[in-house]
Structure 1
């Protein structure tokens, strides 16, 4: 016995008719679908129970889920971020120094190898001091009411 849903198209069949049949079966409601049928008679093949091919209510997938209809239900909507210049100026300066000093050291190593030693030492001290300052500003303990949804 062959399965009519998995047979290759015969040489005389039109591809359009096969695709239309496939689209009709995919768009149909699984609960109303009687299962596999013979193409010529419209009845279930001999020995195949049409109930076997119906979707059991407990076996639904993600596409079968119907939401409550409210698009904002349970969805996290973040607040607008603050303006770039509204932060603490000392923290902003520390970030610029922590990132800018190593970049400056790299550029000095590439383009000006004979730079004065105090400049090299000063940039290293500046980068380390800015990094230590930023680590010192990190919070020491968690807020109990925070669920981690905001940074």
Structure 2
């Protein structure tokens, strides 16, 4: 069966008009404002509000968002952070490991750019310092998550 091109089929404008008139007729039957006054100058009466059950707007507890909470009036709203520890009292091994993990690649880059004929033990030593430093830092990572009852507000 040969297919017809939609552009080649004749268009019947009377069929469109009949379908449009039918659509308008059906919409006017369902239109609540269809019984309005005949005089357009006469104002329409406001619709009477239907009572709404407030329970309709209550959400399921799993769908509660970040702004759906009750405000606690006992909190004064003032957050006072605790004093940070002094700067000079860190673990010296951690500080040394961080210096090796960040400093060795920088020295390797500078040596590659400016010291083209640097000795091989320097390259091997800097690579070893970097690998040992990164290994020590990974070894010092916590093995499990500490749950100390903190709500995550502090860093």
What TM-score do the two structures reach when normalised by structure 1? 0.51
Q: What does residue range 2-151 of structure 1 map to in structure 2 within 5 Å? A: 44-45=46-47, 49-51=48-50, 56=54, 59=57, 66-71=70-75, 79-143=82-146, 145=148, 147=150, 149=152
Distance 1:91 1:65, change over 3 A: closer
Gaps of 5+ in 2: 1-30, 32-42, 60-64
> How much does 1:141 deviate?
3.9
Residues paired across the two proteins, number: 110
> How much does 1:94 deviate?
0.9
* Higher RCO, 1 vs 2 (CA within 8 Å, ≥6 residues apart): 2
> How much does 1:82 deviate?
2.0
Q: In structure 1, what is the equivalent of residue 24 of structure 2?
A: none
Distance 1:136 1:60, change over 3 A: same
- Separation in 1, partners of 2:68, 2:93: 54
Bigger Rg, which one: 2
- Separation in 2, partners of 1:115, 1:87: 34
Q: Deviation string for 1:101-133 (max 9, x for gaps)?
A: 012112222232222211111100111111122
What TM-score do the two structures reach when normalised by structure 2? 0.50
Gaps of 5+ in 1: 2-40
